[in-house]
Amino acid sequence: MQTRVISGPEVPAAVADVLAGGPPIAVVADQASVPASWNLTSSTTGSLADTDLDADIGVLIGTSGSTGDPKGVLLSRAAMRASVEATHRRLGGAGNWVCPLPLHYVAGLMTAARAAVAGTRFSVAASDLSDLPLEPGRNYLSVVAAQLHRAFDDATIITALTRFDAVLIGGSAIPAGLLAKGKQAGINLVATYGMAETCGGCVYDGVPLDGVRVAIGADERIEIAAASVFSGYRCDPDATAAALRVDPDGVRTLRTHDRGRWSDGRLQVLGRLDDVVITGGVNVDLGRAQRAADAVFGPGAVALLGVPDERWGTLIVALTELPLSVDDCRARLAGGLEPAAVPRLLRRVAGLPRTSTGKIDRRSLRAVWAEGS
């Protein structure tokens, strides 16, 4: 079957059709943004079945990371259903889903999938959370940290959030202070961890969903085995071989690029494997440093970056839209970070580059820093 390229308001109905056994779809931001590496334009390679072995493949969607070009993630119908069913079991039952997120990212896509599998209502909401519809029965919402942070500027939105049976929050590191503030306000927040390769969140509040096994491998690498793990990367067998292991029983294990550890029986995500840099001979965990900056200044308000430097090897720098000096920034971070992790330079910019889910776009961030050098 030929792959349909789907975007925008077409996504919910197309996802429902796929899960009912319809033809596979490639979900993109718009019809002009299909990555060339996905190889969907040729009449001889336009179908997912042309190069991919899993006949149950239903969705091709891009990774939503902030450090490189999006890979094409192949999700089977079975994987999507397994994710939906595990999510609803953990949350206490099926419900209506509201989506204020881009539908071409897995967090948005899976809200539509959950409603389709359960036969419940699916609604799209504004990204600023200013219109959050509620339907009879249980109601669920998925947001990212930046959205919740901004919501505290409007008491009406906070009140609306308290009426949901659960508000899933994920997409990036979540400052502990933001979670505490939300829960104190009466919002039933559920911190999620997952990615496109796991059909979205597969660990809720540090506890894997039913049927999900999480192991910590060498170098603190997080490895996830589950029925919801992806089938491979479109037209990229090398990347697939590096990330995906399939045992003789067909169980798929994803080797993530994230570091983690167990703390009191819950998974604690420490950051990416490539977040650890050496500055002046000292190892610095940029993921931990960024979490500290998020806790002090707000999610993504001050972005930390490691850039090449002749003297230090890697120099820790900061970019921000805030009216902040480097001395102020250093002083406010000094109490929570080791000296080597405190940024030595700061540059104010008109705007920090972000992905459509609110993450800092680190690849673009490096270009912004280089342009000002």
- Domain segments of the chain: what residues? 76-268, 280-371
Digit-coded pLDDT (tens) for 42-98: 544 556 755 555 779 999 999 865 445 689 999 999 999 999 999 999 999 999 999
CATH number for the domain running over 76-268 = 3.40.50.12780
C-beta separation of 182 from 243 below 8 A:
no
- Return d(Cα 143, Cα 309) in angstroms, integer: 37
Burial class (CB in 10 A: 0-12, 13-18, 19+), 335: exposed
User: Tens of pLDDT along 95-147?
Assistant: 999 999 999 999 999 999 999 999 999 999 999 999 999 999 999 999 988 89
Whole-angstrom distance between the N-terminal and C-terminal Cα of the chain? 51
Q: How confident is the model at residue 159 (pLDDT cuts 50, 70, 90)?
A: very high
pLDDT reported for residue 43: 45
Q: What is the pLDDT of residues 259-317, one digit of tens each?
A: 999 999 999 998 888 888 889 888 898 988 998 999 899 888 999 999 988 888 899 99
Greater confidence (250 vs 209) lies with 209
Mean pLDDT of 207-229: 96
Calculate the CA 45 to chain-centre distance: 29
pLDDT at 169 over 70: yes
Whether residue 174 has pLDDT greater than 60: yes
Query: Percentage of the chain with pLDDT > 90?
Result: 68
Q: pLDDT digits over 320-334, tens only?
A: 999 999 999 999 999
**Looking at the domain 280-371, which fold is it?**
GMP Synthetase; Chain A, domain 3 (3.30.300)
Does residue 8 have a pLDDT over 70? Answer: yes
Q: Cα(217)–Cα(223) distance, rounded to whole angstroms?
A: 7
pLDDT of 359 > 80? The answer is no
Say if residue 29's pLDDT is above 60: yes
- Counting residues of the chain whose pLDDT is more than 70, the rounded percentage is 93
C-beta pairs of 16-20 under 8 Å, 24+ apart in sequence: 16/112, 16/116, 18/58, 18/59, 18/77, 19/58, 19/77, 19/80, 19/81, 19/113, 19/116, 19/117, 20/116
Task: Tell me the whole-structure pTM to 2 decimals.
Answer: 0.82
Give the 3-state secondary structure of the chain: CCCEEECHHHHHHHHHHHHCCCCCEEECCCCCCCCHHHCCCCCCCCCHHHCCCCCCEEEEEECCCCCCCCCEEEEEHHHHHHHHHHHHHHHCCCCEEEECCCCCCHHHHHHHHHHHHHCCCEEECCCCCCCCCCCCCCEEEEEEHHHHHHHCCCHHHHHHHCCCCEEEEECCCCCHHHHHHHHHCCCCEEEEEEEHHHCEEEEECCEECCCCEEEECHHHEEEEECCCCCCEECCCHHHHHHHEEECCCCCEEEEEEEEEEEECCEEEEEEEHHHEEEECCEEEEHHHHHHHHHHHHCCCCEEEEEEEECCCEEEEEEEECCCCCHHHHHHHHHCCCCHHHCCCEEEECCCCCECCCCCECHHHHHHHHHHCC
Q: So what's the pLDDT on residue 51?
A: 55
pLDDT at 228 over 50: yes
For residue 355, pLDDT over 80 is answered with no
Residue 119: what pLDDT? 97
Mean pLDDT, the chain, whole residue set = 90
Assess whether pLDDT exceeds 80 at residue 204: yes
Q: What band does 1 get if pLDDT is binned at 50, 70 and 90?
A: low
**Backbone dihedral angles phi then psi of residue 100, each to the nearest 5 degrees:** -105, 20
